[in-house]
Amino acid sequence: MTRMTRVSRTAEPHVLLIRLAGPLQSWGVTGRFARRDTHTRPTKSGVIGLCAAALGLDRDEPLGELADVRFGVRADRPGTPLRDYHTVGGGRYPLRPRDLVTDHRRATAAAAVLEPASDTDTGTDTDAEEPYGRHTLDAWYGSPKLIEADPVSGALVSRQVRRHALLTERWYLADAAFLVGLEHEDRALLDRIGHALEHPRRLLWLGRKACPPSGDLSLGVVSGTLRDVFPSLALLPAAGIADTPEPHGGRPWAWIESPVPLSDSGPVQDQPVRFDASGPVHGPRWETRHRITIAPHASEWDLIP
């Protein structure tokens, strides 16, 4: 009879330290296509998703102990909110032959534009030899939307031959640096995650594909709890900027997960359950906010910025 070995909850806790820094970060909470927001700090679901990608987990794989780690984040460099305003489509786009062949409604709409004009003096068609790519339709968006099968021909066509520009805005944190801690009694699990972050099996980004991380991610595993570890470590240096003043007078804010609801804790809908292709599923968890006073003899950093 095989007996499974379980890690005792009375074992000494350990913390994996993760550095999240880069030109841009974006940790969305309620983002949609038209407006994609960002939280003021990394979320647990975002960081666990980062670790799952590094480990090479598929979307339908259970997260297991990865979701059970206790999460904490210290805002060493909170960064500056940055708004990126987008306009997609609209205006005038050249018509291609395939646009007219695959969608008869576009061909009908463009018929007047494509009719060759007659030269009254010579009786010849002046535009007869003019190539495609020079004709346009006003306010026609070239990327097809609302695709469906045509009832006559069976070809896939768009229900919209004209589209106006789509307006979107996306929010980022610029020049931010966060110290994330993952606390667990199983040091081997934390070592495995830390190694994967430096040797990822999939591409990693800071919340969004446009936000790659810079420098070191895994800063090693130390003994202790998040409450003990955060004050014992110096603030992360600002990447590429010397003599940068410390934010908040050197006393950053930290958010530490609470295993049970406490009087000073608040609920957040940020506990990762699974990362299905149809959309991630989150559950509730609790966290407390602390003002961290860095110890006078805190350990300094020797890392790639």
**What is the tens place of the pLDDT at every residue in 247-272?**
777 799 999 999 888 888 888 899 98
State pTM to two decimals: 0.73
Confidence of residue 297 (pLDDT cuts 50, 70, 90): confident
**Residue 190 above 50 pLDDT?**
yes
pLDDT greater at residue 244 or residue 58: 58
pLDDT digits (tens, 9 = 90+) for 95-146: 666 666 766 776 777 776 666 545 545 454 444 444 445 555 554 545 555 6
152, with CB counted inside 10 A (0-12, 13-18, 19+), is exposed
pLDDT greater at residue 241 or residue 227: 227
* Rounded distance between C-alpha atoms, residue 53 and residue 204, angstroms: 7
Residue 290: half-sphere exposure toward Cβ, Cα within 13 Å: 18
| Residues 58-86 as b or e (16 or more Cβ within 10 Å = b) | eeeeebeebbebbbbbbbbbbbeebeeee
Residue in this structure with the two tokens 């300094």, named with its chain if needed: 300
C-alpha torsion sign, points 50, 52, 58, 62: negative
Residue-wise DSSP of 123-156:
--BTTTTPPTTS-EETT--SS--SEEE-TTT--E
C-alpha 117, offset from chain centre: 52
pLDDT digits (tens, 9 = 90+) for 78-100: 999 999 988 766 555 556 666 66
pLDDT digits (tens, 9 = 90+) for 155-173: 665 565 555 667 888 999 9
* Rounded distance between C-alpha atoms, residue 55 and residue 210, angstroms: 21
pLDDT digits (tens, 9 = 90+) for 10-68: 579 999 999 999 999 999 877 676 788 899 999 999 999 999 999 999 988 888 899 99
